[in-house]
């Protein structure tokens, strides 16, 4: 028999779970330690040096928001990124576990667990940790980063699709990208305004210089000038050194101001002066500093209407609106939904170690029929979650969970969705809960009697 490898650290407040795993896991791994809480987790990491941490999502603390697993996932990834994290979660916390994987966790296992499944996931995590220790992870990360940089310069990150509206936009971008024309990108949230800005920068003569992105609407008013224009040492209490603002950081490249429509009027005036003069004065300074930037702005607001209402400066509007690109909502690009979904599927299958090769016909129909009020960002999140939750080699309609997210009560959707769709969701819930009707009903957000009726209807 081959020698056992891998060191597992279990962090769970349930004594019976710790005892059970203390008996089970040593049969498969070289060393196993347990902790009742994460209070000594960092210190134990330093002494025990585990390959994998099996981390519970919730602990008995004074403040239990359900996010403790996410907090410790972030802490561990910052302190010891080579360690892999497997989240240990109850059915009610599956959403949190999915978020944990987005933040760097390797995988998650649902309680009550299947021994073979648990050992399989932990073994895969140990193998990944071994690659990390051998430098494979860093080499792959570097290779991926280089590939992404090359793709960005080639404009490969932008998915144009086949819709007439996007084809017209593509022709416009090809004309204006090589110039220094100021561009205003508008469209609903999630339509890809930031991606479009990166595309324009990638196709410009400035692509060898940085593109600096700023969420203009998120900057506190008191920090606006310091953030954009910089400050000199001693300008205010905490100004211990000189600081370059975003305009200077983007010098020679592109400055992307997102959510520009959220700026209050008095800050709009300061922005206008910098754009007009192409120079800034640092807070606390006296000398103007010339900046050479290409400006791209974006907003989901109707700036013409804001101008008419007196909420946005007309002179600033015309200054940033040399070329206007309006991105269409995804519901107006129906032919692009499946190709986009397949693209997100391929990316996330690699990211989350899933052997997925495609999207089945029912799932494609559900994706095409969905309204996508959150546009491309909503589709991307939907596919990412579906990949994480999937158990087969093809993404199915039930993996998408679109029906379950559209209504609080599954029975309320019968007028809009077919029995086939409803049956898929009910079967998946019962399967994932291993026949536990209470847990399945909670997952579906319906009553136990309603679920019993559905199970009887579908022969479960």
Please name the fold of domain 7-134.
Rossmann fold (3.40.50)
Domains 7-134 and 333-457 share a fold: no
Mean pLDDT per 10-residue run, the chain (460 residues)?
A: 84 91 93 89 88 86 59 86 91 77 89 90 92 61 43 56 89 94 95 94 93 88 88 79 90 95 92 92 89 95 94 95 96 91 88 86 91 92 91 89 48 44 72 71 71 80
Predicted pLDDT of residue 102: 84
Is residue 159 within 8 Å of residue 343, measured between CB atoms? Answer: yes
Strands 289-290 and 279-280, sheet pairing? antiparallel
Within 8 A by CB and 6+ apart from 393, the residues are: 355, 356, 357
Please give the CATH number for the structural domain made up of 157-328: 3.40.50.300
Instruction: Give the three-class secondary structure for 387.
Output: helix
The answer to whether the beta carbons of residues 104 and 77 sit under 8 Å apart is yes
Residues in a beta bridge with 394: 358
What pLDDT sits at residue 403? 53
- 149: Cβ–Cβ under 8 A, 6 or more apart, which residues? none
| Residue 81: both structure tokens together | 């990124």
How far apart, in Å, are the Cα atoms of 195 and each of 32, 291, 320, 359, 377?
A: 45, 24, 18, 25, 11
pTM comes to 0.64
Is CATH 1.10.8.60 correct for 333-457? yes
pLDDT, residue 121, reads 92
User: Is-cis flag, bond preceding 162, omega within 30?
Assistant: no
* pLDDT of the residue at 395: 92
Boundaries of every domain in the chain: 7-134, 157-328, 333-457
């Amino acid at each position: 028999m081959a020698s056992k490898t891998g060191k597992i650290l279990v962090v769970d407040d349930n004594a019976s779970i710790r005892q059970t795993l203390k008996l089970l896991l040593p049969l498969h791994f070289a060393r196993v330690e347990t902790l009742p809480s994460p209070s000594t987790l960092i210190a134990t990491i330093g002494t025990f040096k585990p390959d994998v941490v099996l981390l519970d999502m919730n602990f008995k603390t004074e403040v239990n928001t359900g996010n403790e697993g996410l907090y410790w996932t972030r802490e561990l990834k910052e302190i010891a990124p080579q360690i892999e994290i497997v989240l240990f979660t109850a059915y009610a916390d599956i959403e949190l576990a999915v978020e944990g994987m987005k933040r760097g966790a390797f995988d998650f296992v649902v309680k009550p667990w299947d021994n073979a499944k648990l050992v399989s996931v932990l073994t895969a995590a140990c193998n990944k940790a071994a690659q990390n220790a051998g430098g494979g992870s860093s080499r792959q990360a570097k290779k991926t980063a280089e590939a992404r940089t090359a793709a960005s310069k080639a404009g490969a990150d932008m998915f144009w699709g086949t819709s007439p509206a996007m084809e017209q936009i593509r022709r416009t971008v090809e004309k204006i990208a090589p110039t220094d024309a100021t561009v205003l990108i508008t469209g609903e949230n999630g339509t890809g305004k930031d991606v479009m800005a990166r595309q324009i920068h990638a196709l410009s003569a400035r692509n060898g210089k940085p593109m600096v992105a700023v969420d203009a609407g998120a900057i506190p008013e008191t920090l606006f000038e310091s953030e954009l224009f910089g400050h000199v040492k001693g300008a205010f209490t905490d100004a211990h050194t000189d600081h370059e603002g975003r305009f200077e950081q983007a010098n020679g490249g592109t400055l992307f101001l997102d959510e520009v429509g959220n700026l209050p009027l008095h800050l709009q005036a300061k922005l206008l002066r910098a754009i007009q003069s192409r120079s800034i004065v640092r807070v606390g300074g006296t000398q103007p500093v010339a900046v050479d930037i290409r400006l791209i702005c974006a907003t989901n607001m109707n700036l013409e209407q804001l101008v008419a209402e007196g909420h946005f400066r007309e002179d600033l509007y015309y200054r940033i609106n040399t070329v206007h690109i309006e991105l269409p909502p995804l519901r107006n690009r129906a032919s692009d939904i499946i190709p986009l979904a397949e693209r997100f599927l391929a990316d996330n299958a690699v990211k989350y170690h899933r052997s997925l090769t495609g999207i089945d016909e029912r799932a494609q129909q559900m994706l095409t029929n969905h309204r996508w009020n959150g546009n491309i960002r909503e589709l991307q999140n939907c596919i990412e979650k579906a990949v994480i939750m999937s158990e087969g080699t093809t993404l199915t309609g039930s993996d998408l969970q679109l029906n379950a997210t559209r209504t609080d009560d599954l029975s309320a959707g019968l007028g809009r969705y077919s029995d086939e769709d409803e049956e898929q969701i009910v079967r998946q819930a019962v399967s994932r809960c291993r026949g536990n009707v209470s847990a399945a009903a909670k997952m579906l957000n319906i009553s136990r009697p309603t679920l019993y009726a559905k199970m009887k209807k579908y022969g479960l």
